[in-house]
Amino acid sequence: MFPIFKIITEDSETSDKSIVPFEVDYLSLIDVKKHYYIILIHCYICVIAHILIIIAVDTMFIKFIQHSCAMFAILGYHLEHMAGTENEKSDLNSDDKSYWRIISCIRQHKEIIDFVDRIESIYSTYFFLQLGYNMINMSITGTQMVLYADETFEFIRLTLLASAQLLHLFFECWQAQQLIDHSALIHESICKAAWYRTSVKSKKLIGIMLIKTLETSKLTAGKLLVLCFECFAAKMLGDRTTSQESIVPCKLFLRATFCFCVKKGNGAYHSSKGASSEEDYTSHTG
């Protein structure tokens, strides 16, 4: 798409220049102009393969997160209906159904936490490397957008690249935020339940579970940064506690867009002003 787009956006004099989606170097063993279309197809195959790998990894991540959220939702439903029709005298009976329901919910909650811990152990290092790469790449991309604000093709290409990086980071934080929200519903489900209709020993278990569910399940990037919407907003918009000299990728992105618009507007203004001055000059001299 980029070679075709560049041919359209550039002048006819420079449109004959062969380009590829990214820079390639064959150590002067292959003539790029002679084998241009073969190299172009190879570049497209590499790009598609890279995108498919990212989609596959993110798809598995979605399945794990949605499965965890579904298990939290099921557990919340069971907790809300744990009392049943029993009353406070049920602890005198050998068949205390609410007590055994709570025992089952506690076991289910432990299994869900173990499953989330496995997801955390698998993706923690990946998120740390991915987040670090995105931050560095966004800073470099924002700087390049400022430098190439006069070149329409390069500016659009860098804008699309920065947008893709932002969307990918937002997607990961969105899934992690869903996990936090669903795990927090467990505490709310216990509070909504008719716990006052359960037996005394059941209430003791409910009290312990209330304390355990105060801590929500979460995913981190290298055990250092919790992935959530707050993390995304802090990294993109900048934390007020950080120094003013720190470079924020989103600020670079906005500044680059502003510089591009200002330069293009000034260019159009000066060109129109120059054209009107020429017309006035020719009319007076004529």
pLDDT tens-digit map of 34-80? 878 888 888 889 889 988 998 998 999 999 999 999 999 999 999 98
What is the pLDDT of the chain when averaged over all its residues? 76
Among 22, 18, 13, 15, which Cα is nearest to 35's? 18
Residue 237 to residue 231: CA distance in whole angstroms: 10
Residue predicted with more confidence, 149 or 264: 149
Q: At a CB cut-off of 8 Å and minimum separation 6, what does 13 contact? A: none
Convert the pLDDT of each residue in 26-43 to its tens digit.
767 777 778 788 888 888
Q: pLDDT tens digits, residue range 100-111?
A: 888 999 999 999
Mean pLDDT of 214-238: 83
* Token output for 197: 């209709």
Whose tokens are 């940064």? That residue is 225
Please give the average per-residue pLDDT across 257-266, as a whole number.
52
pLDDT greater at residue 156 or residue 273: 156
Alpha carbons 206 and 203: distance in angstroms, whole number: 5
Tokens representing 41 are: 């197809």
**CA separation (Å) from 121 to 60, 114, 128, 190, 245?**
15, 11, 12, 28, 34
Which segment of 13-17, 156-160, 272-276 scores lowest on mean pLDDT? 13-17
Its pTM surpasses 0.75: no
Which residues are CB-neighbours of 51 under 8 A, at least 6 positions away?
none
* Strand, coil or helix: 226: strand
pLDDT of residue 279: 52
User: Are 225 and 131 a contacting pair, CB within 8 Å?
Assistant: yes
Q: 190: Cβ–Cβ under 8 A, 6 or more apart, which residues?
A: 79, 206, 209, 210, 213
Lowest-pLDDT range, 17-26, 36-45, 181-190?
Answer: 17-26
φ/ψ (deg, to 5) at 226: -85, 125
CA-closest candidate to residue 170, choices 226, 256, 124, 231 = 231
Q: If residue 112 lies in a helix (H) or strand (E), which one and from where to where?
A: helix 97-147
Alpha helices (H) along 148-199: 152-192
Tokens standing for 96?
């205390």
More confident residue, 72 or 23: 72
Instruction: Report residue 269's pLDDT band, with 50, 70 and 90 as the boundaries.
Output: very low
- State residue 141's pLDDT score: 83
Contact of 137 with 165, CB cutoff 8 Å:
yes
Answer yes or no: are the C-beta atoms of 68 and 112 closer than 8 Å. Answer: yes
More confident residue, 17 or 150: 150
Bridge partners (DSSP) of residue 221 are 225
DSSP category for residue 132: H
Calculate the dihedral angle through the C-alpha atoms of 252, 257, 259, 262, rounding to the nearest 10 degrees: -160
Q: Is the pLDDT of residue 19 over 70?
A: no
Q: What does the pLDDT average to over 113-134?
A: 90
Question: Is it the case that residue 93 has pLDDT exceeding 70?
Answer: no
In the chain, the percentage of residues whose pLDDT exceeds 90 is 21
**Is the Cβ–Cβ distance between 216 and 184 less than 8 Å?**
yes
Helices 152-192 and 249-285: angle between axes, nearest 10 degrees:
140
Residue-level pLDDT at 13: 44
Question: What letter represents residue 201's amino acid?
Answer: K
Residue type at 182?
Answer: H
